[in-house]
Chain A
Amino acid sequence: MSDSNGFEDLVVETPGVDFRVHRSVFTDERYLEREKKTIFTNGWLYVGHASEVRNPGDFITRTIVGERLIMCRDTGGELRVFFNSCRHRGALVCREPSGNTARFRCLYHAWTYRNSGELVAVAERASFPEGFSLEDNGLESPRFEVYRDFVFLTFGADASPLQDYLAPVLPYLDSIVDQSLTGDMEVLMGSHLYRMGGNWKLIVENSLDGYHGFAVHQTYFKYLAGRGYDLDGGLEGVGLSLGNGHAMLRYKAPFGRSVARPWPAMSEQARQRVETIASELVDKHGEEKADLITKTSKNILIYPNLLIIDAASLQIRILDPIAVDHTDVSAWCLAPVGEEEELRQHRIQGYLEFLGPGGFATPDDNEVIEACQEGYGQVRGIEWSIVSKGMGKEVPSMTDEEQMRGFWRQWQHDVAGTNEAAAVTGGRQG
């Protein structure tokens, strides 16, 4: 092909027959560079949850694909996202992970900005040339949009509106937020900020992989059985490629859930509360939607790097590619505002038993991811990974790989786009 840019044919599909991914996509720096210029520039990337900056003046700082950002609520109550960099010569204007402030004062020469971004004080201002004005030199914002307290940004100019981008996954995102009868959810204190020695896409695959549980997480399920869970029904459900790269597992599982399925250790009172919430949700949303909110477990990928794991607990997880073979994972527990103490306690317990750097399951996933990364080496040996499980089936199950294929098709489309800036937005595929 005359217009080949070297980014085609990394994901190869023969419909119904074969689906393979070239392993260099996990090992070759060039592809990470390409991803940064396409997917991570033009896609919508999760920044944080509005509950993290609930009060005027609240701020958090966060690094997203190498960019330092501030998310804050200004004194007037409006949510803001800024590049955390001084307009003068670039120092961070905020060096705390979180806090509350009316102003961001750069440490270098003390330029001072309101928490709404305006530059309000410049030392020795008269020494700057005539054309220099405070108004033109406020903190810069990336383009950002908020959907039901989920804050996303894009570094590209051409992205379609957030809601269009999210459209295929919106009913599922809604089903997360609607765990709260008022739609008011909050991120709990205490973040899991850790690292895995593997390419970010390996973690995407693993988070959507319903095939590995029996092999990798035996010790977790054995532990649950020992704690009185009835695991006979097992996990059952489907893997879905939703479109725009979004994908999910949708299944029934034996985990306890604070919105639907009591834990064995729950008090009678808490059980009743769970039942009450479930019936209130039916009243509000109808049987079908309520079932999706309460009894259905979901591992959701919001393309490219946001995962919402609604299983034994509820987790928001983002993947930040810091190198071709290392990924920073940041994760938070999400819960309805005002949740009863015992339900909250179980939500956290369910979270920690499975998830995070000290959980009974996530560390084994970490091992899997590193084993894959190490197995690839420099791809001088086996070149292709097989991702064909469930191809040709009318309804691929959660232990198939259709949901991963949905991710990979979008990934291939985006990195192969001839125009870097338009790769993500220039027509999506399902």
Chain B
Amino acid sequence: MTEMATRGPALADLETTHEIQALLNYEAELLDGWQLTEWLTLLTEDCCYLVPATDAPDSESPQQAVFIISDTYAQICGRVERLESAMAFVERPRSRTRHLITNVRVHEPVPNEYKVYSNFAVYRSRRGVSHVFVGEYRHLLVRSSDGSLRISERRATLDAEELRPQGKVSFIL
């Protein structure tokens, strides 16, 4: 990963790191609780949500390469609306998910903008089968005028080389 070489150690101050960890944990809680409308309030209105293809995990260009998910904010809203409907059959009954987040590294490339890497393991149980999705998050966070942090990009890069056996990413990873 070429980007890796330029990351360097994360040096944000303790208070900010703590605040960001709390945000990531809160996000996970909302997702695991299927409180998706609430989750949307954590996002900026130009937020994008990316899950790269498993055979092109480093791809940075959803305009030119095919991702598994490359949602604009409008698509994220469409995704949430769909998942809230009783007609999104793949999530009815809903998956039980558990987002575990660790190794949080906070970078502050420009003041009040944070690039946050973390490791995730998301367990998904449904209809008698459990699968685990392991990978790395990259959250871009901005501090809005009211002082709160919001997510302006959310990227989940999977370690698996193929989405077998997991099969689908029908919940919010």
A residues contacting B by CB (< 8 A) are 97-98, 188-197, 216, 218-220, 222-223, 226-227, 328, 332-333, 341, 344-345, 348-349, 351-353, 356-358, 360, 362-364, 366-368, 370
Q: From B51, which residue of chain A is reached at the shortest CB distance?
A: A358
What are 16 A-B contacts defined by CB distance under 8 Å?
Answer: A188-B64, A190-B55, A190-B67, A191-B54, A193-B162, A196-B167, A222-B85, A223-B81, A344-B64, A345-B63, A348-B64, A351-B66, A352-B66, A358-B67, A358-B168, A363-B170
> Which B73-129 residues have a C-beta within 8 angstroms of A?
74-75, 78-79, 81-82, 85, 87-90, 127
**Contact yes or no, B63 A194, CB < 8 A:** no
* Complexed CA–CA distance, A333 and B64 (Å): 11
Query: Which of A190, A220, A352, A357 is B168 in contact with, Cβ under 8 Å?
Result: A357
Kindly report which residue of chain B lies nearest to residue A333, judged by CB atoms.
B66
Residues of B bordering A, CB below 8 Å? 51-56, 59, 62-70, 74-75, 78-79, 81-82, 85, 87-90, 127, 161-170
The residue that B162 contacts in the complex, of A194, A345, A348, A362, with Cβ under 8 A, is A194
Q: Does the CB pair B89–A364 fall under 8 Å?
A: yes
Closest Cβ of chain B: how far from A411's Cβ, in Å?
25
Complex Cα gap A193–B166 (Å)? 10
Assuming A195-B167, A348-B62, A358-B170, is B85 touching A190 (CB within 8 A)? no
> Shortest CB–CB separation between residue A101 and chain B, in angstroms?
18
A226: contacting residue among B64, B78, B162, B164, CB under 8 A: B78
* B168 and A366 contact, CB distance less than 8 A: yes
- Once the chains bind, are A190 and B89 in contact (CB under 8 Å)? no
Interface of B is mostly: loop
Contact A193 B163 (CB under 8 A): yes
- Closest 7 interchain pairs by CB? A190-B66, A190-B53, A358-B69, A193-B162, A363-B90, A363-B170, A189-B65
CA distance in complex: A364, B67 (Å): 19
Asked whether, in the complex, the Cβ of A219 is within 8 Å of the Cβ of B66, the reply is no
In the complex, which of the residues B54, B59, B82, B88 contacts A189, with contact meaning CB atoms closer than 8 Å? B59
A222 — which chain B residues lie within 8 A by C-beta?
Answer: 81-82, 85
A194 engages B79 (CB within 8 Å): no
Whether B167 contacts A357 by the Cβ 8 Å rule is yes
CA distance in complex: A193, B54 (Å): 8
- Is A219 in contact with B82, judged by CB distance below 8 angstroms? yes
CB distance from A309 to the nearest CB of B (A): 14
Q: Are A192 and B163 in contact (CB under 8 A)?
A: yes
Shortest distance from the beta carbon of A211 to any chain B beta carbon, whole Å:
16
Using Cβ atoms and an 8 Å threshold, which residues of chain B touch A363? 90, 168-170
For B168, the chain A residues whose CB sits under 8 A away are: 194, 357-358, 362-363, 366
CB distance A344 to B88 under 8 Å? no
Q: Which residues of B contact A189 (CB under 8 A)?
A: 53, 56, 59, 64-66
CB-based contact A348/B66 at 8 Å: yes
Nearest-neighbor residue (CB-CB) of B82 within chain A? A219
B17 to chain A, nearest CB (A): 30
Residue from B70, B89, B164 in contact with A216 in the complex, judged by beta carbons closer than 8 Å: B89
Interchain nearest-CB distance for B45 vs A (Å): 16
How many angstroms between the C-alpha atoms of A195 and B59 in the bound complex? 22
Residues of B with C-beta under 8 A to A344 = 63-64
Interchain CB contact under 8 A, A366 and B167: yes
Chain B residue numbers with a CB within 8 Å of A97 are 55, 161
- A227–B74 CA distance with the chains assembled, in angstroms: 9
Nearest B residue (CB) for A330: B162
Known pairs A353-B75, A364-B90; A194 contacts B167 (CB<8 A) = yes
- Expressed in whole angstroms, the Cα–Cα distance for A293 and B161 within the complex equals 35
